[in-house]
């Protein structure tokens, strides 16, 4: 079948002088589609919902604006091509793919040659094609040489719905600049840290370099799903992190990693989605709340709040999560959504921003094969909507395997295959490895990468080696040889595969950097557009409000916890009973009452401190995940997080103080009562600061709680009640003790007018000291968080 475009030819005058690319002009004719069998084509075209524009063979109808009336033809065009078995891609065209001829695409032969010669980046090719034919940027249609057109399935109703959903969701989203990721000879090493005396860097000297990735080459473009497979420890996660710009030590990375021929820049963060292996989500938020908060934080300000909410709903629908929309996420202690649903929520959080490049680390691990297949179909769909998807997969079923477009196989950090997934079996067959019994291709490939060649035919030299190892086995005991005969053969197999792969990759169609100056300029132009964007998607204040609300919702179960309120009320009643109607007539009575004041300071220094202590260590994974995508400013998160617990702590403090004050019959007078409440609230705020500070500085729950208990003990002992004459060398502790300052303030409030009472210092100094602590401890906590590495 011959397909042609007519009246879509771009006149030379439409060439933009700025970048040499073609641009849609408002007076440009709308292209029409013609085929040999015109009747059939028009029927098909209209049956997919299209409306012939421009009036068929008649004169082309000028459009008033470039976008007017585009949705119909755009959708129809896409569906029509699908029906004809033509594939849509935004990836580079390989030599195997037949780009439709220049005339059929309505472009000048010179421009066509330009594209072919440079094998141009998708960022450029589709841009010009898309604008000239009003198909979405990033899409280009081609005929895959290996896939006869006649075999392609017609579009189904689901396809149609997907298209509609795409259009719906794609509306007003970031411009879908396609990203073509190309990496070549990527090597990455780590320095194994010096082990402690009893530590175990087994088998290697402390401080030794360890190369994890040994020259990996590959590429993935929009419309493609690249699967990365290999045995455990083969370097999949490391490679994914490196490609996703999440390496902790860039100086240990060598090789070339280019995104549209440009190295990684921070601006790419918002074009890249990264789903980590562990599902890092708030357990007490519902699925809908999780996606909604992500949408509110990640979508830029040009979306209205309603649009952001709609987008969250659309993603919820697209991922089939409506049924569990109002179920909490849950965790190992709390029943929530299923593992597959949780994984889909993680994917949803990333596709909310319509990323051009989506990385997923083992999205199917721990899932049953049916759920895993659903996830892989979803990724396949997402890829074919115009994204580049790269995922590490452990054990795909054969059905899942057939959905991969490209495949990278790793073995001990060495590449053993890179190419089309459907070509993998043929490739291994040509180098001498063929399964002897029917087996899942994924199992076969993973076995090979592990050096396991059971039920697999071997190439002659390895066959020979196998025999010689088997005969040696008779003569040499395993104790005298490092490794069993099987592992010896396994090592040879891996080496053989790595050697063959080096040759295979060198013959793979490696596209070179752009040679064409004009295209290069256009690329730079688009990169500049990306970098010009506002650095943060939302304002500081919006981030603060959203994070505050999210923090409040996540911990509402704690706030609303009856147990927590009961705990405070019962403690207050107990203290009130013990100091029931306390008096100050005698020295002993006075001493007793001072004990109550000291207890109030200690009690309200202890609880908030330990609650705050765990805040940052427990939220660290979420913070790292969200900061890695530049979702919000650290200062907005810090302020929201440190303030969101305060109202409830203050509320509980007031309840406690009111009960104790009245029961213990402390000093009469409204002002004394209010000052006492204020003093205890200041104590709570300062002690929270200490908790945040220790937690953020140490970021380890166990170590932080050990240190905090020692510090609290020290502050309490130096608090002025137990000891007055502290030796000078440790006397400074009392100045740091918020309990000491609170105790001073409370005694001052109670006994201000008394003559024969030990007043412990100056009220103003203590208030000032506590106020400084409120700020200073928090500042240290903030600086500690800032210094925290957010890369892996």
Interaction site with ligand ATP (CB under 6 A): 190, 192, 210, 212, 230, 232-238
Closer CB to ligand ATP, 235 or 435, in the complex: 235
Minimum CB–partner distance for residue 278 and ligand ATP (Å): 11
Alpha helices in 560-669 (DSSP H): 562-578, 587-613, 615-628, 634-644, 646-664
CB atoms within 10 A of CB 684: 25
Closer CB to ligand ATP, 224 or 362, in the complex: 362
Tell me which residue has tokens 């202890």. 606
Minimum CB–partner distance for residue 199 and ligand ATP (Å): 13
Minimum CB–partner distance for residue 505 and ligand ATP (Å): 19
Closer CB to ligand ATP, 235 or 691, in the complex: 235
Closer CB to ligand ATP, 195 or 726, in the complex: 195
Minimum CB–partner distance for residue 356 and ligand ATP (Å): 24
CB atoms within 10 A of CB 463: 12
Question: DSSP label at 235?
Answer: S
Minimum CB–partner distance for residue 372 and ligand ATP (Å): 15
Minimum CB–partner distance for residue 206 and ligand ATP (Å): 12
d(CA 720, CA 741): 9
Minimum CB–partner distance for residue 255 and ligand ATP (Å): 16
* Gyration radius from the chain CA atoms: 34
d(CA 378, CA 318): 9
Closer CB to ligand ATP, 105 or 407, in the complex: 407
Minimum CB–partner distance for residue 636 and ligand ATP (Å): 31
How do 3-6 and 209-220 pair as beta strands? Answer: unpaired
Closer CB to ligand ATP, 50 or 230, in the complex: 230
Contact (CB, 8 A) for 290 and 345: yes
Closer CB to ligand ATP, 248 or 706, in the complex: 248
Q: 3-class DSSP state for residue 373? A: helix
Contacts made by residues 188-195, CB under 8 angstroms, sequence distance 24+: 188/212, 188/213, 188/238, 188/239, 188/242, 188/247, 188/252, 188/253, 188/254, 189/252, 190/249, 190/252, 191/252
d(CA 41, CA 693): 70
Closer CB to ligand ATP, 230 or 490, in the complex: 230
Closer CB to ligand ATP, 7 or 238, in the complex: 238
Closer CB to ligand ATP, 190 or 624, in the complex: 190
Structure-block tokens of residue 235: 């370097």
Minimum CB–partner distance for residue 275 and ligand ATP (Å): 14
Minimum CB–partner distance for residue 260 and ligand ATP (Å): 26
Minimum CB–partner distance for residue 96 and ligand ATP (Å): 30
Closer CB to ligand ATP, 625 or 667, in the complex: 625
CB atoms within 10 A of CB 272: 24
Alpha helices in 364-513 (DSSP H): 369-384, 398-401, 424-430, 441-449, 460-475, 485-507
Closest CA to 286 of 336, 327, 344, 340: 327
d(CA 391, CA 386): 16
Minimum CB–partner distance for residue 237 and ligand ATP (Å): 3
Tell me which residue has tokens 């959905």. 403
Backbone angles phi, psi at 11, to 5 degrees: -70, 155
d(CA 31, CA 106): 9
* CA distance readout (Å), 792 to 248, 276, 355, 695: 5, 11, 21, 20
Minimum CB–partner distance for residue 189 and ligand ATP (Å): 9
d(CA 317, CA 684): 44
Minimum CB–partner distance for residue 394 and ligand ATP (Å): 6
Closer CB to ligand ATP, 234 or 318, in the complex: 234
For 674, half-sphere exposure in the C-beta direction (CA atoms, 13 angstrom radius) is: 3
Contact (CB, 8 A) for 160 and 79: yes
Closest CA to 288 of 337, 332, 335: 337
Contact (CB, 8 A) for 448 and 416: yes
Closer CB to ligand ATP, 249 or 561, in the complex: 249
Q: 3-class DSSP state for residue 216? A: strand
CA angle 772, 774, 778 (to 5 degrees): 110
d(CA 295, CA 290): 9
Q: Is the Cα dihedral 448, 452, 457, 463 positive or negative?
A: positive
Minimum CB–partner distance for residue 188 and ligand ATP (Å): 9
Structure-block tokens of residue 690: 């200490």
Closer CB to ligand ATP, 212 or 657, in the complex: 212
Closer CB to ligand ATP, 365 or 705, in the complex: 365
d(CA 588, CA 761): 21
Closer CB to ligand ATP, 232 or 477, in the complex: 232
Structure-block tokens of residue 387: 């994204």
Minimum CB–partner distance for residue 191 and ligand ATP (Å): 8
């Amino acid at each position: 079948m011959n397909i042609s475009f007519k009246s879509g030819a771009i006149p030379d005058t439409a060439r933009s002088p700025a970048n040499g690319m073609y641009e849609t002009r408002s007076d440009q004719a709308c292209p029409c589609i013609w085929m040999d069998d015109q009747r059939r084509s028009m029927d098909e075209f209209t049956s997919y919902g299209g409306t012939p524009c421009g009036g068929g063979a008649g004169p082309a109808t000028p459009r008033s604006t470039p976008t007017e009336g585009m949705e119909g033809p755009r959708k129809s065009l896409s569906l029509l091509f699908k029906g004809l078995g033509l594939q849509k891609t935004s990836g580079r065209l390989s030599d195997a793919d037949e780009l439709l001829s220049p005339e059929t695409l309505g472009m000048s032969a010179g421009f066509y040659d330009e594209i072919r010669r440079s094998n141009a980046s998708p960022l450029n090719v589709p841009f010009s094609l898309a604008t000239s034919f009003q198909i979405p940027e990033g899409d280009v249609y081609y005929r895959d040489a290996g896939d006869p057109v006649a075999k392609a399935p017609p579009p189904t109703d689901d396809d149609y719905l997907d298209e509609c959903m795409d259009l719906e969701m794609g509306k007003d989203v970031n411009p879908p600049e396609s990203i073509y990721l190309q990496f070549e000879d990527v090597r990455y090493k780590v320095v194994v840290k010096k082990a402690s005396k009893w530590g175990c860097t087994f088998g290697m000297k402390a401080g030794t370099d360890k190369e994890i990735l040994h020259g990996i080459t590959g590429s993935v473009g929009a419309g493609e799903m690249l699967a990365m497979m290999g045995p455990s420890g083969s370097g999949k996660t490391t490679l994914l992190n490196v490609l996703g710009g999440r390496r902790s030590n860039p100086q240990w990375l060598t090789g070339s990693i280019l995104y549209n021929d440009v190295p990684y820049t921070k601006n790419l963060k918002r074009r890249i989605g990264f789903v980590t292996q562990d599902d890092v989500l708030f357990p007490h938020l519902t699925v809908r709340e999780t996606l909604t908060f992500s949408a509110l934080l990640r979508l830029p300000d040009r979306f209205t709040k309603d649009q952001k909410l709609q987008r969250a709903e659309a993603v919820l629908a697209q991922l089939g999560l409506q049924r569990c929309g109002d179920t909490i996420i849950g965790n190992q202690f709390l029943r929530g959504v299923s593992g597959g649903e949780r994984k889909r929520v993680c994917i949803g959080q990333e596709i909310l921003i319509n990323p051009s490049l989506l990385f997923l680390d083992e999205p199917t691990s721990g899932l049953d094969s049916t759920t895993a297949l659903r996830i892989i179909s979803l990724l396949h769909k997402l890829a074919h909507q115009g994204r580049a998807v790269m995922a590490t997969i452990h054990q795909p079923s054969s059905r899942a395997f057939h959905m991969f477009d490209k495949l990278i196989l790793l073995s001990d950090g060495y590449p053993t295959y890179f190419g089309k997934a459907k070509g993998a079996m043929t490739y291994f067959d040509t180098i001498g490895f063929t399964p002897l019994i029917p087996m899942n291709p994924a199992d076969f490939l993973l076995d090979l990468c592990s050096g396991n060649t059971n039920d697999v035919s071997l190439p002659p030299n390895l066959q020979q080696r196998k025999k010689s190892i088997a005969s040696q086995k008779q003569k040499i005991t395993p104790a005298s040889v490092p490794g069993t005969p099987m592992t010896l053969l396994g090592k040879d197999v891996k080496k053989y595969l790595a050697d063959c792969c080096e040759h295979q990759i060198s013959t793979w169609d490696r596209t070179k950097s752009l040679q064409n100056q004009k295209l290069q300029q256009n690329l730079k132009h688009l990169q500049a557009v990306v970098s010009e964007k506002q650095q943060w998607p939302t304002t500081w204040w919006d981030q603060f409000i959203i994070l505050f609300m999210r923090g409040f919702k996540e911990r509402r179960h704690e706030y609303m916890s009856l147990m927590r309120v009961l705990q405070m009320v019962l403690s207050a009643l107990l203290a009130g009973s013990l100091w029931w109607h306390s008096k100050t007539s005698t020295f002993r009575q006075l001493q007793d009452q001072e004990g109550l004041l000291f207890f109030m300071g200690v009690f309200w220094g202890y609880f908030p401190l330990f609650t705050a202590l765990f805040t940052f260590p427990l939220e660290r994974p979420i913070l790292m995940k969200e900061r890695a995508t530049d979702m919000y400013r650290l200062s907005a998160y810090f302020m929201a997080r440190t303030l969101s617990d305060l109202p409830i702590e203050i509320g509980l403090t007031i309840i406690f103080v009111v009960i104790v004050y009245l029961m213990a019959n402390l000093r009469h007078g409204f002002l004394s009562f209010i000052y006492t409440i204020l003093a205890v609230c200041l104590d709570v705020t300062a002690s929270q600061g200490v908790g945040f500070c220790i937690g953020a500085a140490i970021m380890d729950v166990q170590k932080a709680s050990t240190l905090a208990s020692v510090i609290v003990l020290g502050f309490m002992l130096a608090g002025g009640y137990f000891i007055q004459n502290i030796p000078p060398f440790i006397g400074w502790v009392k100045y740091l003790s918020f309990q000491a300052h609170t105790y001073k303030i409370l005694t001052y409030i109670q006994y201000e007018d008394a003559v024969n009472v030990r007043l412990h210092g100056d009220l103003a100094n203590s208030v000032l000291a506590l106020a400084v602590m409120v700020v200073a401890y928090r500042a240290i906590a903030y600086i500690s968080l800032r210094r925290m590495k957010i890369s892996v």
